[in-house]
Amino acid sequence: MDSFKRTLIVISLFAQTLIFGDSTIPDISKGERIYQSNCSGCHGMSGRGNGPASKVLNPLPRNFTDGKYLFRTTPSGSLPTDENIHKTIRNGVIRTSMPSWEGILNDSDIADVTSYIKTFAKKFTIQTPAPEVELPSTAPEKTDALVEDGKMLYRLMECFNCHGSEGRADGSSSNELENDWGEPIVPPDFAHDSFKGGNDPVDIYRTFSTGLTGTPMPAYDDDIFGFSREDIVGDYSNLEMDYTKDEIKAFDTWAKNSISGDELYNKTEDEMYAYFRMRKWALVYYVLDQREKESLIFKLFKKDYELTQ
Ligand code: HEC
Ligand code: HEC
């Protein structure tokens, strides 16, 4: 192509940008206007989470100044991607006052306000988000065996300390947890509460993989699931406060029947990681099972109730 034609193309592209606005480049000053009229009442004029409405809100609106975001596809502690922030703005955060802006702000407004809230945290100017965690887009089938494995993994990984023995938010430290901003934070009740990061198995799997940065909820990467029978059979004194003798016995039986080191290390690397990930799915299905069990009891009760009316 000769340089004259190229110059013409460049000029015409430039003119299009001027005339139509280029939706791929966010407009920070428009983002600022959107923020100050829609978001600052809660998140504060300078993004510190201290807008006038924050006084009556629990949890408090996010403080944007240190770049910590709960809902990400990036590893624990990393900055979020723009798409992660867009998604939260579009969908809102269930069980909190953070509204969904779908239908109120269009995609380009959301991109503009995202680029503006990023200016509150210096971290965005000195770091880029770490590469996204590899995440599955589909879940394996739920089976009773997976749920049972999950129940035991939940004990092994001491989720109960924060979440309670059956995930009812009555763990020994459930009432003492704080987020990174020094605010008290209560874990969800698995049987009754919706999950902020989404209730689908793939959503919960993502939450386990990335953690909720800024809160005590840790990330569990695949390697954490790399244990064998020899690593876990033995001392169960950590379970004594939260579980009955029978429950600890069931755990011991499960531990003694779990895969041996020899069997595990005879697998190829791919097989081994598939195995570790299946353990993570087991936890996902155990957590979901708490809710399903509860709604079944509710339904049965309701049916009984309706029949007796
Ligand atoms: C009525 C109060 C309220 C308004 C208005 C509001 N938010 Fe929020 N927002 C919250 C609360 C509360 C949280 C914290 C949720 C949590 O910690 O689970 C939050 C969290 C967030 C997060 C954090 C997501 C993460 O991954 O940690 C983003 C981003 C966000 N809000 C953006 C916005 C934007 C942009 C607007 C305006 C278009 C807005 N919010 C308006 C209350 C509000
Ligand atoms: C140190 C305490 C702690 C430990 C250990 C912990 N969690 Fe959490 N978890 C929390 C807190 C606090 C929240 C609530 C975060 C919020 O709502 O902002 C949470 C949230 C969750 C959620 C809901 C996520 C959502 O999208 O709302 C699930 C599910 C969960 N945890 C499962 C687990 C499992 C399974 C384990 C063990 C493998 C575990 N947690 C270990 C503290 C913990």
What per-residue confidence (pLDDT) applies to 15?
A: 47
Strand-pair partners of 184: 178
Centre of ligand 2 to C-alpha 153, Å, is: 14
CB 184, CB 178: distance < 8 Å: yes
Pocket probe for ligand 1: among 72, 98, 113, 123, the residue whose CB has the most ligand atoms within 8 Å is 98
State both tokens at 247: 């429950």
Query: Is 57's C-beta closer than 6 angstroms to any atom of ligand 1?
Result: yes
User: ∠ CA(247), CA(248), CA(250), 5° rounding?
Assistant: 65
Report pTM.
0.90
Q: Using 50, 70 and 90 to split pLDDT, how confident is the model at 303?
A: low
Q: Out of 28, 36, 43, give the residue to mutate to test ligand 1, the one with the largest number of ligand atoms within 8 Å of its CB.
A: 43
**How far apart (Å, rounded) are the C-alpha atoms in residues 160 and 283?**
12
Indicate if the pLDDT at residue 244 is higher than 50: yes
Q: Tell me which residue has its CA closest to atom 12 in ligand 2.
A: 187
- Whether 172 shows a pLDDT value over 70: the answer reads yes
Q: What is the pLDDT of residues 54-97, one digit of tens each?
A: 999 999 999 999 999 999 999 999 999 999 999 999 999 999 99
Rounded distance, CA 138 to CA 156, Å?
26
Per-residue pLDDT band at 230 (split at 50, 70, 90): very high
Q: Which domains, and CATH codes, for the chain? A: 17-126 (1.10.760.10), 144-308 (no CATH)
For ligand 1, say whether the CB of 288 is within 6 Å of any of its atoms.
no
Mean pLDDT over 131-135 rounds to 96
Q: What is the pLDDT of residue 134?
A: 94
pLDDT for the residue 307:
53
pLDDT at residue 285 tops 60? yes
Query: Quick one: average pLDDT of 250-254?
Result: 98
Helix pair angle (107-118, 28-38), 10° resolution:
90
Label each residue of 93-153 as H, E or C: CCCCCCCCCECCECHHHHHHHHHHHHCCCCHHHHCCCCCCCCCCCCCCCCCHHHHHHHHHH
Strand partners, 102: 105
Site to substitute for ligand 1 among 37, 91, 93, most atoms within 8 A of C-beta: 93
Say what the pLDDT of residue 11 is. 52
Query: Would the CB of 185 count as within 6 Å of ligand 1?
Result: no
